């Protein structure tokens, strides 16, 4: 009985708002790191390279990194209900064009949409595994 009661307490703690907030904060941190890695490596959330920008090549810089407004304008917030990523400031003006592409501009996706990309899934699973291991042993 004692083992079952301990299991019930552990399972109940998974729906505790504090536990959910901790997990969502860990997820937000991981996703933010992966988004930054995408900008550094010039690739989308699946690891596929962005088409190089002609202007960036001409100026000898990285694609989507002229002054950093787009990357710097990506912010996230987490609480017990989930994690939300959004663009702010000057990034709002052109984030959607890069995320989705246009008739004249290739898509250079920087935030995952829909199904979780495999690199993100791997990182999140490892983080959550570490969290549960440290919390529950």
In a domain, 24, yes or no: no
In a domain, 29, yes or no: no
Give ∠ CA 106-112-114 in degrees, rounded to 5.
105
Residues of the domain holding 77 = 3-14+40-136
Nearest of 57, 52, 89 to residue 70 by alpha carbon: 89
Whether 35 and 27 have beta carbons less than 8 Å apart is answered as no
Dihedral sign for Cα 26, 30, 33, 39, please: negative
- Mean per-residue pLDDT of the chain: 93
In a domain, 19, yes or no: no
Say whether pLDDT at 49 is over 70: yes
Question: 89-108, pLDDT tens digit by residue?
Answer: 989 988 999 999 999 999 99
In a domain, 56, yes or no: yes
In a domain, 31, yes or no: no
Q: Supply the pLDDT for residue 44.
A: 97
Question: How many distinct structural domains can be found in the chain?
Answer: 1
Show Cβ contacts of residue 32 under 8 Å, excluding neighbours closer than 6 positions: 74, 76, 85
């Amino acid at each position: 009985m004692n083992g079952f009661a301990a299991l019930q307490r552990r399972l109940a703690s998974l729906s505790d708002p504090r536990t959910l907030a901790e997990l969502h904060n860990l997820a937000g941190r991981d996703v933010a790191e992966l988004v930054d890695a995408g900008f550094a490596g010039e690739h989308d959330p699946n690891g596929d390279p962005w088409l190089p920008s002609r202007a960036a090549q001409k100026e000898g810089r990285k694609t989507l990194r002229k002054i950093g407004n787009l990357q710097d304008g990506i912010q996230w917030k987490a609480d017990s209900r989930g994690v939300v990523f959004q663009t702010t400031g000057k990034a709002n003006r052109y984030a959607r064009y890069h995320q989705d592409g246009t008739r004249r501009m290739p898509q250079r996706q920087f935030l995952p949409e829909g199904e979780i990309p495999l690199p993100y899934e791997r990182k999140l699973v490892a983080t959550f595994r570490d969290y549960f291991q440290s919390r529950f042993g």
